[in-house]
């Protein structure tokens, strides 16, 4: 038992590293979709019309802004708890409108990847950005 406790103490000193890695993986994961949306934001609005998303053009801009903010804020570790909420919401909408009908498998454009993102974002909502981020210094004030 003593060996396990010592091992656990050593590992707990690294507890902020997985939070940083989650933030960076998520930021990278949102980067391409965000840039693609902004290259043809009106096309995204047209697509949202077909998906019966309310206020499709406003929604396209809102999702685009949310994803760009997500990339920046997750990378910096700034206001992480705040940005996770609209990102989770947009992923839930994406699962309902796009991915859900395709089943679970990512290879079939299913909801697997959005679900993993939601789980990681929920973890960041609960635990915050960790000590390797700007939020840590803001919270210490």
Query: CB neighbours (10 Å) of residue 78?
Result: 17
DSSP assignment of 26-85? HHHHHHHHHHHHHHTHHHHHHHHHHTT-SSHHHHHHHHHHHHHHHHHHHHHT-SHHHHHH
Sequence spans of domains, the chain: 15-139
Tell me the pLDDT tens digit for each residue of 85-120: 999 999 999 999 999 999 999 999 999 999 999 999
Give exposure, 91-119, as e/b (b: 16+ Cβ within 10 Å): bebbbeebbeeeeeeeeeebbbbbbebbe
Tell me the pLDDT tens digit for each residue of 6-64: 999 899 889 999 999 999 999 999 999 999 999 999 999 999 999 999 999 999 999 99
What is the spatial distance between Cα 75 and Cα 1, in angstroms, rounded to a whole number?
38
Q: What percent of the chain has pLDDT over 90?
A: 91
Q: Which of 17, 35, 29 is nearest to 112 (CA)?
A: 29
What is the spatial distance between Cα 40 and Cα 34, in angstroms, rounded to a whole number?
10
| Contact call for residues 82 and 125 (beta carbons, < 8 A) | no
pTM value is 0.93
| Contact call for residues 74 and 80 (beta carbons, < 8 A) | yes
């Amino acid at each position: 038992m003593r060996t396990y406790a010592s091992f656990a103490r050593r590992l707990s000193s690294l507890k902020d590293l997985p939070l940083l890695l989650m933030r960076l993986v998520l930021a990278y994961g949102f980067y391409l979709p965000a840039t693609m949306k902004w290259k043809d934001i009106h096309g995204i609005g047209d697509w949202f019309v077909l998906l019966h998303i309310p206020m499709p053009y406003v929604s396209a801009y809102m999702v685009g802004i949310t994803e760009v903010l997500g990339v920046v804020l997750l990378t910096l570790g700034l206001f992480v708890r705040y940005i996770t909420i609209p990102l989770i919401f947009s992923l839930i909408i994406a699962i309902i409108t796009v991915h859900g009908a395709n089943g679970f498998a990512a290879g079939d454009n299913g909801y697997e990847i959005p679900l993993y993102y939601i789980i990681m974002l929920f973890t960041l909502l609960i635990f915050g950005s960790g000590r390797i981020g700007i939020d840590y210094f803001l919270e210490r004030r």
